[in-house]
Structure 1
Amino acid sequence: MRRLLHRELVDPLRPQDPVSDAVPPVQYGECLLSTLAAPLVRIPHLRVPRALTVRGLGNGSLWLAAFLSGFVIREPAPYELYMALLSVVWLGCGLKLRREFGPLIICMMLYIAGGIASIPMAQVQGDAMMYIAVSGFLAITAIFYAAILADDPDRFRIIQSGYTFSAVLVSAIGIAGYFNLFPGADYFTLYERARGTFQDPNVFGPFLVLPTLLLIQTLLRGPVFRHLHLLVPISILLLGIFLSFSRGAWVVLFAGVMIIYFLALVTEQSSRRRARLLFLGLAGVVAVLAFLAAALSIDTVDQMFHQRAKLVQDYDGARLGRFARYSLGFQMVMDYPLGLGPLEFNKHFPEDEHNVYLKGFTTYGWLGGTVYIFLAIWTFCSLVPLLFKSRPWTGFAQCLFAVFTAHLILSVIIDTDHWRHMYMFYGLAWGLIGADKLDRKRMRRANSRPT
């Protein structure tokens, strides 16, 4: 079991052409000292292991970036510090900003420009500047991921591996915290909800969804018995999402699973395999019901579930609750073309916006709010054609599309503005969009050459 899990999560970083550790002697029969004394150019069999090459180190650094994205319990988080250094190094080594993902670059620049223009509207300039600075950094990470994938779309395997490894570990920490499995474990909970290594359970839960979808898709597409070991990380991730008691995370998971399951059905040409998918879907429903029954048999879990499972909480439908603030907020920003200023909305209302589209207008002005909606729609529409193409990364694109779409829906009721993984999704999406455009250009050039 351990070997199978290790192979799934770590294999993308292994060299494809492993070599022996020892360097063979220059000439048969020579002693070790004479071999070491021989000039390097006389050793014809000497090869540097691929894992130690610049490309291998680059891939390893990318894996670590995806892994660190799950540790944001304090700001600045290790992810921010590491990504700042990594982006500079990769750009210095020749990472290209291509026109194929130019819309992402332009929209992010305009979005941040709107935020900068909104800073003078804030009462506390220092906090406002820091907020927009963080937004600018996250925009850079989105562009970085786009450049990485557009340059080599096969790097999705490395990102998937690092992200999945991180999510399973983070989920396990959240579960341990919820059940207080070790001294001080309750540090990883908030309001009796699992939060793992995040500041908020509402971020912790959605973060776990993409790797969950990727693992479920592997079960749907591949031989079930060969991938039974994946039930272990899937169970850990599902339990973590459940114990976050985040209604948003539950919605993202449900919507994501439905999307990838639908795509699996419509893209499968074999009637036999389609029947297999229907059977797996039914088995999945039974497994989820059994999972819920087991979890709800614990009194504390049952009480929290019934409390959180309400569609509308008291703070949602109150006079100045979440839904009322949406209407009043949009009416207010009509009088403020530059926005209210970063971190100013809660000075007019009891709480923050809890709606990223509203926050786009309050914090980034009319320019930023309009650009963000435009970017979200453009990204969604550009991803759709990739879902039905035969590419090595099509499965990854389908899962990314599912979780990205679910996050766009979630953003109506939750502020996802500074969610690190949301900016990663934008970057990964445009990286694949750019890679597809580059592939089509190469095909056109190849077809236009005289034979």
Structure 2
Amino acid sequence: MNMTLTTSEARMPYQKMLPLVFATSFFVFVEPAPFDLLACLLMVFAFFPYLKSSNIPLKSFTVWSVIFTLLQILTLPPSIDVGQGIKYLAITVYLNVFGLLLAAYIGRFGTKVIDCIMWGMYAGAAITAVVLLTTKVGVTGGLADIVLANDYTRMRGFFKDPNVFGPALIPVFIYGWMSFQQKSSYRMIHMTMALVAAILIILTLSRGAWVTFLGAAVLYYGLTLWSSNIRKFFSSMIMVTIGTVLMIPLMWAALDAADVKEIFEDRLTLQSYDEERFYIHHMLAEASLDNAYGHGPGQSNVHIRTYYTNVKEADAAHNTYLRVAFEQGWLGILAYMIFVIATAWVGLKACLNKNAVTPYAIMSLSIFAASVVSGLTVDTLHWRHFWIEVAFIWGIYALSFRQKSE
């Protein structure tokens, strides 16, 4: 079945560049990452021309982007560290604009854009998996300081933090699962990548990634069950289950078997830094209530380092919503929550439209909703894959809106 719904038969420009660019999204241990430089080129030459012909949904996205940016600019003057504020503002604007322009591109050329992106992410995830495996067995031991966390038990790939690497793999898992169910070409590749992603998520030993992964999988399962042929769905689930069981030995071998139980038991208990994180959450919430106008973009980390000197391990907000409330004030958190709710709403509306793009809408909403929940324990505003998920939802909705109006 052809799963791609496009608005015209026009050739998609820069199609071959998309997989390459998004493969680099798994190599972000330096800033700016190669992905950021390539993404800027895509925005200028490939994505931007299609924003001019965007429809009502993307115009709404544009208006929100302008408002949120203005709110950040207005909070710059009281910043403790203006340089940090400008840097943080620039990154937020870049990711926001990237999400908007990618959504416009998807709205114009359909889900084949998502397919190209996900095949690129497949490549990035596969390369990372090979490097992690060879590092664990000692072949590429020189990369251990890069791809393994400080204790050498948690995998972070070419990310700075296992708590970011894990959630970045969730789109790979859900897309692989979706494509396998749809009996598309290369079914075994899709199933293999889904299983590889699942194993790597587990091996990050990130509790946040585990919860996000479970939430995305359950939501995807429920939405798909609701919208699909039940017999076909359960037959594919049986195949995925069998494949998972067969892949367990590989996951087991990736860790020292003697330490597996101890490692997982340790990760499932409260860590020394958890109490500090709860303390920071409490203090940022109080500070947000005391200052309705905000302390400035990027200032939460500065505030923590300056005033909470008793904190030793937790040096960031680790909560997207408290961070936005603290930095952009009451209007900022209101604007952000409106955007999150609106994104979830348009994603749900796209899921309700029973057509060829419904599986893509379900996939996008599932991973986005999981990231929204993940925002309670980690800062997601500067996650590249978070804005990719946002772009998927708004792009699919814009595509559906365009189809209805034509």
* Pair in the same fold by TM > 0.5: yes
Structure with max Cα Rg: 1
Aligned to 1:164: 122
> Which residue identity is paired with 1:298?
A
Aligned to 2:257: 298
- Counting only pairs closer than 5 Å after superposition, residues 339-378 of structure 1 correspond to structure 2 as 339-341=294-296, 342-343=298-299, 344-346=302-304, 347-349=306-308, 350=311, 351-378=315-342
Among the aligned pairs, what percent are the same residue?
A: 24
Structure 2 contact 47–104 (Cα < 8 Å) conserved: no
Aligned partner (choices 330, 333, 337) of residue 288 of structure 2: 333
TM-aligned CA deviation for residue 392 of structure 1: 2.7
Aligned to 1:21: none
Aligned partner (choices 258, 279, 295) of residue 218 of structure 2: 258
CA pair 197-357 structure 1, distance change in 2 beyond 3 A: same
Structure 1 contact 142–423 (Cα < 8 Å) conserved: yes
Aligned to 1:431: 395
> Which residue identity is paired with 2:147?
F
Q: In the aligned structure 2, how far is the partner of 1:223 from the partner of 1:70?
A: 25
Aligned to 1:182: 140
- Counting only pairs closer than 5 Å after superposition, residues 89-168 of structure 1 correspond to structure 2 as 89-90=45-46, 93=49, 95-96=51-52, 97-154=54-111, 155-168=113-126
Structure 1 contact 175–196 (Cα < 8 Å) conserved: no
Aligned to 2:404: 440
Aligned partner (choices 188, 202, 226) of residue 163 of structure 2: 202
Structure 1 contact 196–204 (Cα < 8 Å) conserved: yes
Q: In the aligned structure 2, how far is the partner of 1:194 from the partner of 1:410?
A: 19
Q: What secondary structure, in the 3-state scheme, does the structure 1 residue paired with 2:77 have?
A: helix
TM-score normalized with structure 2 length: 0.85
Deviation larger for 206-215 or 185-194: 185-194
- Counting only pairs closer than 5 Å after superposition, residues 376-387 of structure 1 correspond to structure 2 as 376-387=340-351
TM-aligned CA deviation for residue 418 of structure 1: 0.9
Q: In the aligned structure 2, how far is the partner of 1:266 from the partner of 1:345?
A: 46
Q: Which runs of 5+ in 1 are unaligned?
A: 1-11, 13-49, 443-451
Aligned to 1:315: 273
> Which residue identity is paired with 1:237?
A
For the pair 1:218 / 2:176, whether they are aligned, the reply is: no
Q: Which runs of 5+ in 2 are unaligned?
A: none
Q: What secondary structure, in the 3-state scheme, does the structure 1 residue paired with 2:69 have?
A: helix
TM-aligned CA deviation for residue 263 of structure 1: 2.4
> Which residue identity is paired with 2:124?
S
CA RMSD of aligned residues (A): 2.8
Structure 1 contact 178–189 (Cα < 8 Å) conserved: no
TM-aligned CA deviation for residue 78 of structure 1: 1.0
Q: In the aligned structure 2, how far is the partner of 1:435 from the partner of 1:274?
A: 26
Q: In the aligned structure 2, how far is the partner of 1:209 from the partner of 1:195?
A: 14
Aligned to 1:45: none
Deviation larger for 408-417 or 342-351: 342-351
Q: In the aligned structure 1, how far is the partner of 2:137 from the partner of 2:307?
A: 39
Q: In the aligned structure 2, how far is the partner of 1:84 from the partner of 1:314?
A: 40
Q: What secondary structure, in the 3-state scheme, does the structure 2 residue paired with 1:208 have?
A: helix
Q: In the aligned structure 2, how far is the partner of 1:299 from the partner of 1:78?
A: 39
TM-aligned CA deviation for residue 116 of structure 1: 1.7
Tell me the matched-pair count. Answer: 385
Structure 2 contact 195–247 (Cα < 8 Å) conserved: no
Q: What secondary structure, in the 3-state scheme, does the structure 1 residue paired with 2:180 have?
A: helix
Aligned partner (choices 347, 371, 394) of residue 407 of structure 1: 371
> Which residue identity is paired with 2:44?
V
TM-score normalized with structure 1 length: 0.77
CA pair 250-172 structure 1, distance change in 2 beyond 3 A: farther
CA pair 56-383 structure 1, distance change in 2 beyond 3 A: closer
Residues 299-348 of structure 1 show CA distances to partners (whole Å, capped at 9, x for unaligned) of 344433222122x32322x3xx2223223311211222232232333133
TM-aligned CA deviation for residue 425 of structure 1: 1.1
Aligned to 1:273: 232
Structure 2 contact 26–128 (Cα < 8 Å) conserved: yes
Q: In the aligned structure 2, how far is the partner of 1:408 from the partner of 1:232?
A: 27
Q: In the aligned structure 1, how far is the partner of 2:155 from the partner of 2:166?
A: 9
Q: What secondary structure, in the 3-state scheme, does the structure 1 residue paired with 2:32 have?
A: coil
> Which residue identity is paired with 2:391?
G
Aligned to 1:17: none
Q: In the aligned structure 1, how far is the partner of 2:244 from the partner of 2:128?
A: 25
TM-aligned CA deviation for residue 131 of structure 1: 1.2
Residues 402-426 of structure 1 show CA distances to partners (whole Å, capped at 9, x for unaligned) of 1111111111111112111111111
Residues 35-61 of structure 1 show CA distances to partners (whole Å, capped at 9, x for unaligned) of xxxxxxxxxxxxxxx9xxx94651122
